[in-house]
Structure 1
Amino acid sequence: MNTAVNTSFHSYRHEASKLLKLSAPILVGQLAITGMGATDTIMAGNYSATDLAAIAIGQSFWLPLLLFLVGFFTATTTLIAHAFGANKAHTIKTLFSQSLLWVALLSPLGIVFLHNVAPLVALLKLEPELAQICEAYLAALSYGLPGGAAFLVMRSLSEGMGKTRPIMLIQLITFASNIPLNYMLIYGRWGAPELGGVGCGFATAIALWLQCVLGLVLINKHPLLRSLQVFSEKFSLQAKIFKRISGLGIPIAFTFLAEVLLFSIIALIIAPLGTTIIAGHQIALSVSALTFMIPLSVGMATTISAGQHLGAKRPQLAKLACHTGLGLILLSSSIMMLMIIWLKADVAGLYSNNDTVIAIASSLLVFSALYQIPDAVQVCMASALRAYQDTRTPLAIVLFAYWGISVPLGWALTFGKLGMAPLGAKGMWMGLVCGLTVAAILLASRFFIISRRASTKLQHQR
């Protein structure tokens, strides 16, 4: 097979078109799932302030667990992309069955955790009613965990084979269904009990099982997925594949956790600075989370495309996919950076009508704009490395950049520990910019080494 690639404009345009077709549905789907959390917050907030606070605290336990599972089964997506590129249908079936065995193992652990958060909640010293609602909300959520985890495997199957649009449609249906379910269970409508904020937990649990059922329908109705007959595979342990999934998935899962916990610890560090500072910080963080969806989606598409090329033993095309993904991400992040700088006050005004909060948020949004590019690069390079099944070194890089640079440097700058005047919340964001820049440089260097090694290995095999 001739793997020489004409890296002309036409080649990049073709790959860019492919990545956009893959990433656009992923982006919409991600926004839909994020919207479920926003809907819970809004509808519970209209019920009572106590229920709103309980859900906000509960989600700080739920989201890390959910992201851990998403990260873990990202390994399944990568491995299936490789198998699909290599045209190994039986391997895809085995990966699917072994991933479902991991669901059977991890789900009970997650349920036990969500039913036993009381000691952790007690550390927060909440009011008794608030703590009780929070714990009941998490217990209700736990019943949807197996369905949600099983759907992640079905999502990996579909997306690994390049079919991202059906998953988007399922996520949109799930988002839409969550709204009437919330209304019914929070306020006790249509014969249902009035559960308040706890009703959000049951509504999400039902929506997650609906998502799972729709995933099963997809597998049995979509021509390509149906042709695999994935449920004809014996669900017996196959140790090599089972370990391979965890070997790739655990580092990815902890990489996801490292990021979400980074922002949690930042909130705790700046808490002594006062309510107004925290409010401004939260606005800047919310904007960053929204803009992050774009590089995240393109990065996931890059993993799929490059993984398929690598499975088909086309390392040059895999490299082209990664370079094209990086180009798309740099373009989008540059646009986001300029828009944030230009519209920072207007954007802050959408979140608050307090002039002081708007001023603080606007100043922090400048730093949010500055880290758009390094954040986008590190996301793309980490995604590209997953396609090459390189996950342990990227985890070490991320831990060093986030926890060895961003947190200590940000803390020192915030409270003036480096022989200079304290910079307040700006110092924390400066630390973020520095840490993300280091992560981007190190991950890009790692990608250069790994991609070159893959090309050399294939040449030697010939």
Structure 2
Amino acid sequence: MILQNYTREFAYNLKLASPIILGMLGHTFVGFVDNAMVGQLGTAELAAVSLGNSFLFIAMSIGIGFSTAITTLVAEADAEGDTAKVKGALKHGLILCTIIAIIVFVGAIMSKPLMYIMDQPEEVVDLAIPYLNLVAASLIPLIIFQAFKQFADGLSQTKYAMWATLLANVVNIIINYFLIFGIWIFPKWGIIGAAIGTLVSRIVMLVFIWLLLRYKNKFKEYVTNFNFKEIKKSVLKKIISLGFPSSLQMLFEVGIFTAAIWLSGILGKNSQAANQIALNLSSMTFMVAMGLSVAATIRVGNQKGLRRFGELRRIAFSLFLLVLIIDIFFAIMFMVFNNWFPTLYINETDTVNFVDNQEVIMVAGKLLLVAAFFQISDGIQVVGLGILRGLQDVKIPAFITFFAYWMVGFPTSYYLGLHTEYKSAGIWVGLLVGLTVSAILLYIRFNYLSKKLIKNQAIYGVS
């Protein structure tokens, strides 16, 4: 009966999270399509996509991290029935996201010379730089899209971003097919073709969600007739106070996975290609937990607005339990199919690159075994972050993620990867350690805060 208190929330949690999960999987599927198609060209090309995207992951985490504040504020304002507050959160969020998008685009372009001093394979760097030029531009429509997505998510309308992302995937696949391989009258541009597909698909995604929200009656009052001359510093300050620490949280986590790409590059192009395969597969399962994390922010934000702290705690536990069950399933799947999944990315019939391809498959298989174990830690920590974000607790979690990933995880990855025989697998053991420490500390933080809210309400009638 006690367990049923939590399991009865599963259906609604999944209903709310499913469109978010599908939308996020759509983003990841863009990467899967790029990797699977580029992988047919060779391991150097696959490693180049990995290296180029590593710079974008850092820039993207900053923009997306800021945009999460929109969901938090919109969910709370919606629970309070404050329409003007909802519109204000979107308007000010759009302004900040646009500014941040331009800044991170410029930053990504200016960071290109770093590739030459990072001890990466030279042929990989030569391929990665022109790829980065185009994909960096896609950050602008992607981060602006995130503002609209987080707004809709905050209103518990999670399906619209999913539709936009699915459309973007179709566009990306079509462009990739013709421009990577030079089908029909189109030139064979290799990874440049993949970059063009990513850029065009993200522009389409932004235009589609804006038109969708613009012509839906329930959203029209929120997304039209913005008065950008009337800017409230208090709202901007609120978004920044929530968004900046959330951005740091994402940056610290994305940063350690990016560091894994760079450390793998020091070991060679095959290790880097294998890392990219394992990372892309892990990203797909992570998006399920990420979808539940957004659902957690929405539900916890609503309960906070209603001041129902006992319900807030029960709902949070239901989300922890649900992600635990799902990630145990993913862990088993990675263990069983660890040697087969990498073959989806590699052309095994390529006799010219046969030796390299077999090494990539072998190394990626080992990495997936490690990834199987960190599915659970990764799921719990990201749902924990979503719950705490719904509580508008973002500063302490930022310190927790920094400690877990950069004081514990990265040193472990560096030592085991570059100074022991474990090499690539050692790098991923460091990721496992960092994620586990983060999951434990974030859970402790939630447990402390939720009990404190309930206790204060019982004693003083205030939070």
- Indicate the TM-score class for this superposition, using the shorter chain for normalisation: 0.7 to 0.9
**1:23-81 C-alpha deviation (Å, 9 max, x unpaired):** 11112111211122233344456678876665443222223212221121011111111
Between 112-121 and 305-314, report the one with greater CA deviation.
112-121
Aligned CA RMSD, in angstroms, stands at 3.3
Asked if 1:444 corresponds to 2:443, the answer is: yes
Question: 2: distance between equivalents of 1:19 and 1:335?
Answer: 18
Contact (CA 8 Å) 2:120, 2:265: kept in 1 or not? no
Partner in structure 2 of residue 4 of structure 1: none
2:453 corresponding residue in structure 1: 454
Question: Which position in structure 2 is the counterpart of 1:401?
Answer: 404
* Structure 1 pair 324–98 and aligned structure 2 pair: CA distance change class (3 A): same
163-172 or 103-112, which deviates more: 103-112
Q: Which amino acid aligns with 1:289?
A: S
Match of residue 232 from structure 1: 225
Return the match for 2:315 from 317, 321, 332: 321
Are 1:57 and 2:58 counterparts?
no
Please give the per-residue CA displacement for 1:188-212, whole angstroms capped at 9, x wherever unaligned: 7898887654344343333222212
Quickly say closer, same or farther: Cα 1:298–1:201, change in 2 above 3 A. Answer: same
- 1:154-174: per-residue Cα shift (whole Å, max 9, x none)? 101111111111211111011
Instruction: Name the CA distance, whole Å, in 1 between partners of 2:132 and 2:252.
Output: 22
| Stretch of structure 1 that moved more, 205-214 or 120-129 | 120-129
Mean Cα displacement is larger for which, 88-97 or 306-315? 306-315
1:28-427 equivalences in 2 (<5 Å): 28-44=22-38, 54-123=48-117, 134-183=128-177, 197-226=191-220, 228-235=221-228, 236-271=230-265, 281-347=275-341, 360-414=363-417, 423-427=422-426
Match of 2:353 in 1: none
Aligned-pair CA distance for 1:255: 1.6
Distance 1:141 1:223, change over 3 A: same
CA distance in 1, matches of 2:152, 2:308: 22
Given that 2:397 and 2:442 are in contact with CA atoms closer than 8 Å, whether structure 1 keeps it comes out as yes
Q: Are residues 345 and 80 of structure 1, via their aligned partners in 2, closer, same or farther at CA, if it must alter by over 3 Å?
A: same
User: Structure 1, residues 238-294: CA drift from partner, whole Å, max 9, x if none?
Assistant: 111101111111121122122222123234445555666656555544443332222
Which amino acid in structure 2 is aligned with residue 207 of structure 1? S
Distance change in 2, residues 1:103/1:274 (3 Å):
closer
Corresponding residue to 2:10 among 16, 21, 29 = 16
Looking at structure 1, the residues matched to 248 and 240 of structure 2 have their Cα atoms a distance apart, in angstroms, of 12
Classify 1:427/1:181 alpha carbon distance in 2 versus 1 (closer, same or farther; 3 Å). closer
Q: For the structure 1 residues 339 and 89, does the alpha-carbon distance in structure 2 shift closer, same or farther, using more than 3 Å as the test?
A: same
Retained in 1: the 8 A contact 2:180–2:190? yes
1:119-163 deviations in whole A, cap 9, x for unaligned? 224435889997676444433334444332221111011111111
Structure 2 residues without counterparts, runs of 5 or longer: 349-356
Q: Contact 2:101/2:140 (CA < 8 Å) preserved in 1?
A: yes
Decide whether aligned partners of structure 1 residues 83 and 190 sit closer, same or farther in structure 2, where only a CA change above 3 A counts: farther
Q: CA deviation at 1:393?
A: 0.9
1:430 aligns with 2:429: yes
Measure the CA separation in 1 of the matches of 2:306 and 2:156. 14
Structure 1 unmatched runs, 5+: 1-6
- Distance change in 2, residues 1:428/1:199 (3 Å): closer
Q: TM-score, normalised by structure 2?
A: 0.85
CA separation of 1:39/1:333 partners in 2, compared to 1, >3 Å: closer, same or farther? closer
Identify if the C-alpha distance between structure 1 residues 210 and 457 changes in structure 2 by more than 3 Å, giving closer, same or farther.
farther
- In the alignment, the residues of structure 2 paired with residue 333 and residue 84 of structure 1 have an alpha-carbon distance, to the nearest angstrom, of 31
Seen in structure 2, the aligned counterparts of structure 1 residues 407 and 214 have a Cα distance that, compared at 3 Å, is same
Give 3-state SS (helix, strand or coil) of 1:163's partner: coil
1: CA distance between counterparts of 2:394 and 2:179? 41
Q: Which amino acid aligns with 1:258?
A: F
Which deviates more from structure 2 when the two are superposed, residues 111-120 or residues 153-162?
A: 111-120
C-alpha contact 1:94 1:233 (8 A) present in aligned 2: no
Contact 1:115–1:135 (8 Å) recurs in 2: no
Shift in alpha-carbon separation, 1:241–1:47, aligned structure 2, 3 A: same
The 1:244–1:45 alpha-carbon spacing in structure 2 relative to 1, beyond 3 Å, is: same
Q: Following the alignment from structure 2 to structure 1, what is the Cα–Cα distance between the partners of residues 291 and 18?
A: 7
| Partner Cα separation in structure 2 for residue 362 and residue 452 of structure 1 | 43
Aligned residues, how many? 451
